[in-house]
Amino acid sequence: MTVPDPIDRLRDAISSHDPEAVAACFTSDYRSEVPQRPAEGFVGSDHVAQNWTAIFARMPDLEATVLRRAASGPETWSEWQMVGTGPDGAPATLCGPVIMTTRDGQIDWARFYLGPVVGPPDPAVGGSA
């Protein structure tokens, strides 16, 4: 039996708009770090479900794309683009790298560097003109 790639599984879970499916991609003792905003770090997949419930409430049409990735053992470096409609009805895009480690097919640690894109999307990285 082949274990699904954790990055693909997470991307698909985000695009399903189901916070419990997103949380299922993470171990129960998952550790999240956000270096630019350390107070946003947390531990636990239950907190993942809470966060994604709020995210999907603000951006119900959010779609995730993995632009690039590189893996070595349990560590994966990935570049993400997430596009949706913000609460004000305007298009919103988040981009940036995420570094993750996995255990038994689930994500057990991540450092998120995602941030909002200011200005029009770059068609060279999957945006539309």
Tens of pLDDT, residues 22-51: 999 999 999 999 999 999 999 999 999 999
Residues comprising the chain, all counted: 129
Model confidence at 119, in pLDDT bands (50, 70, 90)?
A: confident
Alpha carbon distance 94, 13 (integer Å): 17
Q: What's the pLDDT at 128?
A: 46
pLDDT (tens digit per residue) in 12-27: 999 999 999 999 999 9
Collapsed DSSP state (helix, strand, coil) of residue 38: helix
CATH fold for domain 6-117: Nuclear Transport Factor 2; Chain: A, (3.10.450)
- Whole-model pTM: value is 0.86
Q: Where are the domains of the chain?
A: 6-117
Alpha carbon distance 67, 97 (integer Å): 10
Contact criterion met (CB below 8 Å) for 82 and 102:
no
